[in-house]
């Protein structure tokens, strides 16, 4: 075995949206010579036996332990915008084994040396993550995002493509920042909240709210 790299076999928990993006990053990394991970397929409650982008759906989400015992590793990709509470409740109900969650940072992303990256984090190509920032468990940073320095991005958060999060920002868990949105420095975002696409968030917002516009105003409260 000496000298031979054995890739970790990855099952993506989710579907073709965010799951497909994570899958595409793994495949691209393989092409670029990064062999640490290999895409094995998906776990998805609605597509068992089918294929997503050519990869098999090998089981349902609640089979995560069974597949963990078989040696698979996982990435979490269930991130429906505005359903943060459901997303987090499901994650904890399934008791996703944290020691089987991997971290995927595309090699074309810039992530400062002292960024804390927890298990399950995904950072897509062309994103920037500044010094001393924390990306908590299963946070997704999609393509072309800027995440400033000294930020605290909560577990299961989803930063959509092209958003800009300034510095000293704190985001609770399972919140979403929409496509191209911007968040000014030192702003705090609660849990399960959403900053709408292309919005400019200038002030703190509480839990379970959607803010849109520039400057962003309360659009509605989320009832889940």
Binding site for ligand ACO (CB under 6 A): 81-82, 142, 160-161, 178-179, 194, 196-199, 210, 212-213, 219-220
Residues ≥6 apart with Cβ < 8 Å to 54: none
Contact between 157 and 151 under an 8 Å Cβ cutoff? The reply is no
Smallest gap from Cβ 197 to ligand ACO, in A, equals: 4
Q: Which lies closer to ligand ACO via its Cβ, residue 205 or residue 212?
A: 212
Q: Which lies closer to ligand ACO via its Cβ, residue 149 or residue 219?
A: 219
Smallest gap from Cβ 24 to ligand ACO, in A, equals: 12
What is the CA angle 116-11-123, rounded to 5? 30
- Consult the annotation and say whether 158 binds a ligand: yes
Smallest gap from Cβ 213 to ligand ACO, in A, equals: 5
Residue 23: helix, strand or coil by DSSP?
helix
Residue 98 is encoded by which pair of tokens? 């944290």
Contact between 44 and 56 under an 8 Å Cβ cutoff? The reply is no
Smallest gap from Cβ 216 to ligand ACO, in A, equals: 8
Find the residue with minimal CB distance to ligand ACO: 196
Please tell me the distance from the alpha carbon of residue 6 to that of residue 147, in angstroms, as a whole number. Answer: 32
Residues ≥6 apart with Cβ < 8 Å to 33: none
Q: Which lies closer to ligand ACO via its Cβ, residue 40 or residue 77?
A: 77
DSSP string of 38-106, one letter each residue? EEEEEE-TT-TTSEETTEEEEE-GGGHHHHHHTT-EEEE----TT-HHHHHHHHHHTT--GGGB--EE-
Smallest gap from Cβ 214 to ligand ACO, in A, equals: 8
Q: Which lies closer to ligand ACO via its Cβ, residue 87 or residue 100?
A: 87
Q: Which lies closer to ligand ACO via its Cβ, residue 98 or residue 218?
A: 218
Q: Binding site membership for substrate: which residues?
A: 82
Q: Binding site membership for acetyl-CoA: which residues?
A: 158
């Amino acid at each position: 075995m000496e000298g031979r790299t054995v890739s970790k076999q990855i099952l993506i928990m989710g579907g073709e949206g965010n799951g497909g993006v994570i899958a595409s990053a793994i495949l691209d990394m393989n092409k670029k010579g990064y062999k640490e991970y290999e895409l094995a397929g998906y776990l998805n409650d609605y597509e068992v036996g089918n294929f997503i982008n050519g990869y098999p759906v090998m089981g349902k989400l609640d089979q995560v332990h069974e597949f963990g015992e078989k040696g698979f590793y996982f990435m979490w990709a269930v991130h429906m915008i505005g359903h943060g509470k459901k997303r987090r409740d499901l994650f904890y109900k399934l008791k996703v084994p944290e020691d089987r969650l991997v971290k995927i940072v595309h090699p074309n992303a810039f992530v400062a040396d002292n960024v804390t990256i927890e298990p399950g984090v995904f950072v897509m190509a062309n994103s920037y993550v500044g010094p001393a920032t924390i990306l908590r468990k299963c946070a997704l940073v999609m393509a072309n995002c800027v995440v400033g320095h000294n930020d605290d991005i909560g577990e299961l958060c989803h930063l959509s493509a092209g958003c800009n999060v300034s510095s000293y920002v704190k985001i609770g868990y399972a919140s979403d920042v929409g496509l191209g949105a911007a968040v000014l420095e030192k702003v705090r975002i609660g849990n399960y909240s959403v900053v709408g696409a292309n919005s400019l968030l200038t002030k703190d917002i509480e839990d379970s709210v959607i803010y849109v516009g520039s400057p962003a105003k309360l659009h509605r409260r989320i009832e889940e």
